[in-house]
Amino acid sequence: MDCLPTPCIFQVLAKIRVMRTLLLLVIFCSSFSLEARADYFKWEILFAEKGFGTEFETIPMTAEGKVEFTDKKIECRMESFWTRMEADLLLEGKTLVCVNRDKENSVSVVCRDNNLNRKYNLLKELYPVSKAGFQLLPKMGNSSAYLELRCYF
């Protein structure tokens, strides 16, 4: 036998402690990675090609990356997806970035919900929309294409 009974017990206990710590660390890290990618809100872009207040196209957003419009000259992408959950508060944010003639416009929207009874909106209640938008070419005035990023529960 390599060691006396007492030192062997301490070695075994030390190994168990290390294994337990590693297991808890893995569980802790994986629990955060699952929540951070969830979409609790519905996200969409409203695109009014002829300007604010005119007929618009609704484009649902589900993932980061390039956004496709009917007008191929417009280059936009969705980025900075994040979610934060606290005791009674759910926060989720996204950013819309568009490049037009070497000028970059961006808008960020944060959705909030702090009602635990609303969890899946089974009663089909209407909640206010969080939104923000911009004109693609502000110098054109009201005839500039208008983009709006919005979210709702």
H/E run at residue 136 = none
Strand ranges inside the chain, DSSP E:
42-48, 57-61, 65-67, 75-85, 90-100, 103-113, 130-135, 146-152
- The DSSP symbol for 20 reads H
Contacts of range 22-27, beta carbons closer than 8 Å, 24 or more positions apart: none
Tens-digit pLDDT profile for residues 55-91: 999 988 888 888 887 777 788 999 888 888 877 778 8
Position 29 scores a pLDDT of 63
pLDDT in tens, 8-31: 777 777 778 878 887 777 776 665
- Other CB atoms within a 10 A radius of the CB of residue 96 amount to 24
pLDDT for 131 equals 87
Checking 22-28 for CB contacts under 8 A at 24+ apart, the result is: none
Closest to 146 (Cα-Cα) out of 65, 76, 94: 76
pLDDT the model gives residue 27: 74
Side-by-side strand order, sheet with 75-85: 65-67, 75-85, 90-100, 103-113
- pLDDT beyond 90 at 97: yes
**pLDDT tops 60 at residue 38:** no
Between CA 57 and CA 86 the distance in angstroms is 34
Q: Look at residue 34 and tell me whether its pLDDT is greater than 80.
A: no
Nearest in space to 64 (alpha carbons), one of 43, 74, 78: 78
